[in-house]
Amino acid sequence: MIPKNLSTPCYVYDMALLRQTLDAIKSETAGHDNYHVHYAVKANANPEVLRCISAAGFGADCVSGGEIRAALDNGFPAKDIVFAGVGKADWEIELGLEAGIGLFNVESIPELEVINEIAGRMSRRADVCFRINPDVGAHTHANITTGLAENKFGIAMSDMEAVISAARQMDNVRFVGLHFHIGSQILDMEDFVALARRINQLQKQLEDEGITGVRVINVGGGLGIDYNYPDSNPIPKFHSYFQTYAKELQLRLEQELHFELGRAVVGQMGSLLTRVLYIKEGHVKRFAIVDAGFTDLIRPALYGAHHHIEKVEGCGEAQAHTPEEAPTTLLYDVVGPICESSDVFQKDCPLPPLRRGDLLAIRSAGAYGEIMASQYNCRALPGVFTINEE
């Protein structure tokens, strides 16, 4: 239950839904002992969320030293941590080596050289996968498409053999596999089919060149969620997702298949709760000015992302509507208080008539919400509370 005197804006996390989601992933991957799911910590690094995911036996996909620390502090075994990112600082590489993380996903030759050097100095050896750019375009927002040929991420396919042989010349790194990640919020399974087929082709190419010993194939994350209908589709399409890879990807004997799901794990379990501060009746538009802004949830401002918004009944400070005000639906631009015109959660959002004090839930905000919050305008960071009822 949501407490009546709740201080807003705040995130509410439905831990029961998170556990159901984790169970769904486990049941879809049961029977594939070689499948390993690493949760992409960047989607949500709330400690309680991380502990729930580590307790369910998942690994962690980290993109910074801070995330490695958060993963270690919240129950992920070091060996089940993988470390990706285009700009790993020396201290972050040292931290990963010191902790004994499972592997590094390497995105360039200069980075490989630095890892080799630091590992040598620390008398360690780093297992590395190369992030290869498969030139597979995901049908998603331009800012979250990462798999096209020219990109700050990853290594071009045409350089794949060269980086592998470079690694094999080095004493303190060991090449163990290939890493891919084509983008985020992908709902069309054809994109994953295209990636799987590309990987088949690259594996064959390597074998033709006499390069063997690829132990790990990592297909990244990117499975999307239903932002329009969070109640009808609280659990993402894990069956189609894992089946697509099971069917399309030709793994070799003893190869492990790694997944790095972020949004699909935590997206639907979170909502951002916000109160209506003012209703402003414009000449053509009607605004609901709320106490949350893009400092709390930046996805609409940053990507034009859609989040379903609904009124939470029975939680407003406002008086109940009198019967004369029959709750028809009105269209509101739901906007925040930040001094930027992009601070809009949704334009023309259909909602029952709103009053000052009404509580709104901005749904599907568990991923890339709290973790991207900022203090712009000297605002406080949003609060968080978790609901544990089954």
Ligand X SMILES: *Cc1c(COP(=O)(O)O)cnc(C)c1O
Sites of contact with ligand X (CB under 6 A): 40, 42-43, 61, 84, 181, 184, 220-223, 260-264, 367
Q: How far apart are the first and last CA of the chain?
A: 11
Q: How far apart are CA 190 and CA 375, in angstroms?
A: 39
Q: Which is nearer to ligand X, 82 or 301 (CB)?
A: 82
Shortest CB 120 distance to ligand X, Å: 26
Q: Which is nearer to ligand X, 288 or 367 (CB)?
A: 367
Q: Which is nearer to ligand X, 136 or 223 (CB)?
A: 223
Shortest CB 249 distance to ligand X, Å: 17
Q: How far apart are CA 222 and CA 368, in angstroms?
A: 13
Exposed, middle or buried by CB within 10 Å (0-12, 13-18, 19+), for 62?
Answer: buried
Q: Which is nearer to ligand X, 61 or 111 (CB)?
A: 61
Specify whether the CB–CB gap between 354 and 316 falls below 8 A. no
Residue 132 sits at φ, ψ, to 5 deg, of -105, 140
Q: How far apart are CA 63 and CA 42, in angstroms?
A: 7
Shortest CB 160 distance to ligand X, Å: 17
Shortest CB 222 distance to ligand X, Å: 4
Reported as type and span, the H/E element at residue 294 is none
Shortest CB 179 distance to ligand X, Å: 7
Q: Which is nearer to ligand X, 65 or 222 (CB)?
A: 222
Q: Which is nearer to ligand X, 138 or 272 (CB)?
A: 138
Q: Which is nearer to ligand X, 83 or 175 (CB)?
A: 83
Shortest CB 144 distance to ligand X, Å: 7
Residue the block writes with tokens 């099971």: 246
Shortest CB 150 distance to ligand X, Å: 17
The Cβ-side half-sphere exposure at 201, using a 13 Å CA radius, reads 12
Residues with Cβ < 8 Å from 135, sequence gap 6 or more?
147, 148, 149, 157, 198
Q: How far apart are CA 301 and CA 324, in angstroms?
A: 37
